[in-house]
Amino acid sequence: MIIQDFKVDAKVTKRGKEQVLFREKKENMRLAPNSNFDYGVNWNNQAFKPGKYTLHLTAWGSGKKWTFTKNFEIKREEAAKWNDKAVELERDYTMWYVIGGVILVLLLLIGVYLLGRKSRKKKEEE
């Protein structure tokens, strides 16, 4: 029997925590008997961060309810690999802007110091 009006609610949390980091809900799906399917949870274009997580998945259909809980870990190498492949990943360049700003200010200060020193030498020679 095909399961009509199949619904899935998936939540990802840090392992041992209750705060939901990512959530994906789908409704009005159909599911054939004895079938498997991969269900992806959207991370909203955020980078994968290494750590231990838990997936809490609940599915409803044909008057029945199924729950599934799975612990998983994202290792540093896996996170780097998947983040490199992500096309629309929102990247945070704030640190690079700060470093660039500090270098620019230091270069300006060194330039002002050298110009001041040069003008003082000229005044002393006169």
15 with 71, same domain: the answer is: yes
Is the predicted pLDDT of residue 98 greater than 90, yes or no?
Answer: yes
55 with 100, same domain: the answer is: no
Question: Any idea which of 1-15, 30-44, 92-106 has the lowest mean pLDDT?
Answer: 30-44
Start-to-end Cα distance in the chain:
102
14 with 57, same domain: the answer is: yes
According to the model, what pLDDT value does residue 54 have?
A: 97
8 with 34, same domain: the answer is: yes
φ, ψ of residue 31 to 5 degrees: the values are: -135, 125
- Give the whole-angstrom CA distance, residue 44 versus residue 75: 20
- Give the whole-angstrom CA distance, residue 107 versus residue 84: 33
Average pLDDT over residues 39-47: 80
Is the predicted pLDDT of residue 90 greater than 70, yes or no?
Answer: no
**Tally of structural domains, the chain:** 2
109 with 82, same domain: the answer is: no
69 with 105, same domain: the answer is: no
22 with 12, same domain: the answer is: yes
Contact at 8 Å (CB) between 88 and 49?
no
15 with 43, same domain: the answer is: yes
Enclosing domain of residue 37? 3-91
According to the model, what pLDDT value does residue 107 have?
A: 96
For 72-87, the pLDDT digits (tens) are 999 999 988 888 777 5
According to the model, what pLDDT value does residue 60 have?
A: 92
87 with 115, same domain: the answer is: no
Confidence of residue 1 (pLDDT cuts 50, 70, 90): confident
| Length of the chain, in residues | 126
